């Protein structure tokens, strides 16, 4: 008798578990980069210098998600690197701004998602498009392909961000050149451009298959 009522109670409660919770969703963990005055000033300066955008706060209205891989390092070493407000070891990027590169999110090889910056805070990760793009870094690289867990975690995060913001575009960093010479590309310097290969075509294919229903565009 006791076991029957226990089963009934369990059946009652499992009906009330929201669909999202019943499929083991990865959670977004917080590893905030300090939003100190240095970072704020450097971000505002970058926005003004590269995009002609003058604002009081370095915030963005996200309409694009750009996926990346780090190419090297661990979760911790990459978080440590992104924490510094000033750019240190990237001579290819010293074009006019000392703001360090970063991304709003970073995903470890086991699919754990970490948030480094508020999703609408400016981050330097994709030339020409930073003013409207949320960057997602993934630990991995050309010799260390991204994992199935990372595909799932990116899909989860894209879904989450698409509910929060009017996201129209989803691209891999290697695809960003398509936006050059369009109204979306805002960099004032037409020669400021570097070729990218991350996060890889196969990864993007697998990912797009998982978020097909969101109808995100991959070109202007
Ligand atoms: Zn990248």
Consecutive H or E run containing 113 = strand 113-115
Pairing of strands 28-30, 64-67: unpaired
pLDDT at 92: 63
Question: Which range (27-41, 127-141, 147-161, 181-195) has the least confidence?
Answer: 181-195
Q: How many domains does the chain have?
A: 1
55 in any annotated domain:
yes
Ligand 1 centre to CA of 197 (Å) is 8
Residues 75, 103: Cα–Cα separation, whole Å = 13
Q: What is the pLDDT of residues 53-94, one digit of tens each?
A: 999 999 999 999 999 999 999 999 999 999 999 987 666 665
Q: What is the pLDDT of residues 84-137, one digit of tens each?
A: 999 876 666 656 688 999 999 999 999 999 999 999 999 999 999 999 999 999
Which single residue is written with the structure tokens 């086991």?
Answer: 110
Structure confidence at residue 166 as a pLDDT band (50, 70, 90):
very high
Which CATH number fits the domain that encloses residue 33?
3.40.80.10
Ligand 1 centre to CA of 133 (Å) is 12
pLDDT at 19: 36
186 in any annotated domain:
yes
Ligand 1 centre to CA of 36 (Å) is 24
Ligand 1 centre to CA of 4 (Å) is 56
- Give Cα 142 distance to the centre of its chain: 19
Structure confidence at residue 32 as a pLDDT band (50, 70, 90):
very high
197 in any annotated domain:
yes
Ligand 1 centre to CA of 194 (Å) is 10
18 in any annotated domain:
no
72 in any annotated domain:
yes
Domain boundaries, position 148: 26-214
Pairing of strands 105-107, 113-115: antiparallel
Ligand 1 centre to CA of 155 (Å) is 17
Cβ partners under 8 Å of residue 164, min gap 6: 119
109 in any annotated domain:
yes
Ligand 1 centre to CA of 137 (Å) is 7
Residues with CB under 5 A from ligand 1 (ion): 68, 173, 198
Contact between residue 184 and residue 129 where contact means Cβ atoms under 8 Å apart: yes
Q: What percent of the chain has pLDDT over 90?
A: 80
212: number of Cβ within 10 Å: 9
Flag whether pLDDT at 5 surpasses 80.
Answer: no
Flag whether pLDDT at 21 surpasses 70.
Answer: no
7 in any annotated domain:
no
Ligand 1 centre to CA of 28 (Å) is 21
5 in any annotated domain:
no
């Amino acid at each position: 008798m006791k076991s029957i009522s226990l089963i009934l109670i369990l059946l009652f409660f499992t009906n009330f578990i929201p669909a999202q919770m019943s499929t083991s969703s990865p959670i977004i963990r917080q590893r905030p980069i300090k939003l100190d005055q240095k970072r704020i000033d450097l971000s505002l300066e970058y926005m003004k210098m590269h995009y002609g955008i003058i604002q009081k706060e370095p915030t963005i209205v996200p309409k694009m998600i750009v996926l990346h891989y780090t190419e090297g390092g661990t979760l911790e070493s990459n978080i440590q690197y992104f924490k510094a407000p000033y750019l240190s070891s990237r001579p290819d990027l010293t074009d006019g701004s000392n703001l360090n590169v970063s991304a709003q999110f970073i995903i470890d090889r086991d699919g754990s998602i970490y948030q480094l910056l508020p999703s609408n805070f400016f981050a330097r990760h994709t030339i020409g498009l930073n003013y409207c793009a949320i960057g997602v870094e993934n630990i991995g690289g050309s010799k260390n392909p991204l994992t199935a867990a990372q595909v799932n975690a990116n899909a989860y995060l894209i879904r989450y961000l698409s509910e929060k913001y009017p996201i129209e575009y989803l691209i891999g960093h290697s695809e960003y050149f398509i936006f050059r010479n369009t109204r979306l590309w805002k960099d004032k310097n037409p020669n400021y451009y570097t070729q990218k290969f991350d996060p890889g075509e196969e990864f993007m294919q697998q990912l797009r298959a998982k978020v097909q229903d969101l109808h995100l565009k991959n070109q202007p």
